[in-house]
Amino acid sequence: MPGKLPPPSRPPPRGSVSAPPSRNAPTAPPKNQQPASATVAAPTAAQRAARNASYALLAFTVLTVLSLVAWFLRADQPWGFASFIAVLTGLLGTGATALLWRQPTREHALAGLIVMGVSILRVGLPTDWTWTSVTLLTMTVLLAIPLVQATILLPRS
């Protein structure tokens, strides 16, 4: 007969295997089990060094690009040896940062150090230094520290 409901069925007795869990049952895992998030291992020293080196190289690249933009906005004749080195450093620094982030190896950290070393060429001879030159050297050396540490700790590829 259409429209007629089937007769109600009886619920299974309490404690039987086929009984669905109670709505008031606790949802936390038992005390002898740890939650899934506790099984994640802490990063190793090499992983931390690679991450810090990537951040330092990214900061170096961003500061290089910002100084280059400021130089082009301010200078009458912006193109020269120092600006060419800054453009080259910005491009190579971006590539080295990406390599170090995606595949942290000793060679990629060393490549980042080489990029930083090349950037020091733009400050010129010590007789031509100004406060800007000293600032560039200081920031380069300070940001190179995590890369040196990563070079020491990371495995070879």
pLDDT in tens, 88-130: 999 999 999 999 999 999 999 999 999 999 999 888 888 888 8
d(CA 101, CA 96): 8
- For residue 127, give the DSSP letter: G
pTM over 0.95: no
Q: In 75-130, which residue ranges form alpha helices assigned H by DSSP?
A: 81-102, 106-119
User: Structural domain boundaries of the chain?
Assistant: 44-153
pLDDT in tens, 42-74: 888 888 999 999 999 999 999 999 988 998 898
